[in-house]
Amino acid sequence: GESVGLHLPTLSVQEGDNSIINCAYSNSASDYFIWYKQESGKGPQFIIDIRSNMDKRQGQRVTVLLNKTVKHLSLQIAATQPGDSAVYFCAENAGGTSYGKLTFGQGTILTVHP
Amino acid sequence: DTAVSQTPKYLVTQMGNDKSIKCEQNLGHDTMYWYKQDSKKFLKIMFSYNNKELIINETVPNRFSPKSPDKAHLNLHINSLELGDSAVYFCASSQEGRPDTDTQYFGPGTRLTVL
């Protein structure tokens, strides 16, 4: 069935390193992708999004890359900080009749060591 | 000035009971959602409402009934609670519910524990 998944469930990095979190999706009709960050005890928080007509989008310290050929999405965090420690989710929206419906991946736990 | 708020934050109850979780958003958004997050952190949409009208109704037991008295509120009522209902429930809202642009803003979650 249609799904969004992550290759690595956990990622541990040192403070100052760059982090890359990966996500694979299977629904070729998906046209909008979002990365969310969820800190312990809190709700998911929007980080960055990208539409299917783009292959790269940059924010503050974060970059999302989209490779539609292999249905792969990644989130790059530059100069990772302890405050970046959280669970990161990718989500997709297939558009069309999937009105506002996001399908979330399983999540990757990012741990940043000082 | 909380954007999306939920009450209660924690809810512990016995099997068979009926309980409600309330959600309010002050963002002026037209669309609200309920998600369930299981113990493995998997997030799955349950319902969405746009201007008080049900838009998304996933395969959820009919013991779960959302109610939207106005577009700023979306409450979730659960009848005959079961052990498997234990999870964290998140409310979210977005401007219009458009699939290609809207950011969904999440509440802090309600941790439901059924004993």
- A-side interface with B, Cβ within 8 Å? 31-32, 34, 36, 38, 41-46, 49, 51, 87, 89, 93-96, 98-102, 104, 106-107
Average pLDDT over residues B5-26: 97
- Please give the Cα distance from A33 to A103 (Å, whole number): 10
Q: What is the pLDDT of residue A106?
A: 85
Output the six-digit token pair for A61.
């310290």
Q: Give Cβ neighbours of residue B109 (< 8 Å, ≥ 6 apart).
A: A41, A42, A43, B6, B9, B37, B88, B89, B90
pLDDT of B42-99, one tens digit each? Answer: 999 998 888 888 887 787 899 999 999 998 999 999 999 999 999 999 999 998 767 5
| Segment holding B72, helix H or strand E | none
Lowest mean pLDDT among A23-27, A37-41, A99-103, A106-110: A99-103
- Please give the Cα distance from A26 to A54 (Å, whole number): 18
Nearest chain A Cα distance for residue B17, angstroms: 25
Q: For A53, how many CA atoms within 13 A lie in the half-sphere containing its CB?
A: 2
